[in-house]
Chains A and B, each alone.
Chain A
Amino acid sequence: DAGVTQSPTHLIKTRGQQVTLRCSPKSGHDTVSWYQQALGQGPQFIFQYYEEEERQRGNFPDRFSGHQFPNYSSELNVNALLLGDSALYLCASSFSPRRTGELFFGEGSRLTVL
């Protein structure tokens, strides 16, 4: 049973560019959340997708956007990259958006902005 898979694992961009990160949820899961983990910090909630709609959003600017596809996979897009966007981006999946409980995380995509 495949867990949460993310791609790419590492990438380097320059300021002002745009990036797209991808996530496939664990089999049987229909809800995807994205988190940003800066160096030395805990993960910070970006947003959650369920039924192809953004359901909850954290304190992130509109440069951060997402999408969920009918097969429940998801993308995170970041426009106009800033140096401060350098971080590990984690995708997490679950059975339902309203079920409080453990999320299953992927290994993350490490983004470096130069």
Chain B
Amino acid sequence: DQQVKQNSPSLSVQEGRISILNCDYTNSMFDYFLWYKKYPAEGPTFLISISSIKDKNEDGRFTVFLNKSAKHLSLHIVPSQPGDSAVYFCAASVEGAQKLVFGQGTRLTINP
């Protein structure tokens, strides 16, 4: 049972444009959501998070939106840069517990 799903295995975006990565979840107990970025031969690195009490969180070029009724979150990257090319994982957890449930990942490619 895949509780966190990223339905797009890959996404290609032109440099300078907006990248939008999507994630859906099924477990209504999840109340904390994170995005991780992974380069080849490196471990995942934390990007941005959001608690279920919010519907938006911004950090520089990165914004995460949460739609609890739809059980959907998205990551917006504006403007996209070549260094953003990586695999992006969405993850979810229950507040106070560190067990993260990850999606399958989306490979983002930024084209010059």
Q: Give residues in A with beta carbon < 8 Å to B.
A: 4, 31, 33, 35, 40-45, 48, 56, 58, 90, 92, 94, 97-108
User: Given A56-B99, A100-B97 in contact, is the A43-B89 Cβ separation under 8 Å?
Assistant: yes
Other contacts beyond A100-B96, A105-B36: 5, CB < 8 A:
A4-B43, A42-B103, A56-B97, A103-B98, A103-B100
For B104, the chain A residues whose CB sits under 8 A away are 40-42
User: Smallest distance from the beta carbon of B28 to chain A beta carbons, Å?
Assistant: 17
The listed residue (B36, B46, B98) touching A97 by CB distance below 8 A is B98
The listed residue (A58, A101, A108) touching B43 by CB distance below 8 A is A108
Q: Are B43 and A105 in contact (CB under 8 A)?
A: yes
A-B contacts, CB under 8 A, total: 64
Give Cα distance in the complex from A42 to B91, angstroms.
9
- Nearest 10 pairs between A and B by C-beta? A42-B102, A105-B43, A102-B46, A45-B99, A105-B44, A100-B32, A43-B102, A107-B43, A106-B43, A100-B95
SS of A interface (majority): loop
Could you list some 10 contacts between A and B, CB below 8 A?
A42-B105, A43-B89, A48-B98, A48-B99, A97-B98, A100-B94, A100-B98, A107-B41, A107-B42, A107-B43
Asked if B85 is an interface residue, CB under 8 A from chain A, the answer is: no
Q: Are A98 and B99 in contact (CB under 8 A)?
A: no
Asked if B93 is an interface residue, CB under 8 A from chain A, the answer is: yes
The listed residue (A33, A44, A107) touching B98 by CB distance below 8 A is A33
Q: Are B102 and A101 in contact (CB under 8 A)?
A: no
For B32, the chain A residues whose CB sits under 8 A away are 100
User: Smallest distance from the beta carbon of A35 to chain B beta carbons, Å?
Assistant: 8
Asked if B45 is an interface residue, CB under 8 A from chain A, the answer is: yes
For A105, the chain B residues whose CB sits under 8 A away are 36, 43-45
Q: Are B96 and A98 in contact (CB under 8 A)?
A: yes
Within 8 A of A (CB), among B1-34: 4, 6, 32, 34
Encode B77-112 as 1/0 by CB contact (under 8 A) with A: 000000000000101011111111111110000000
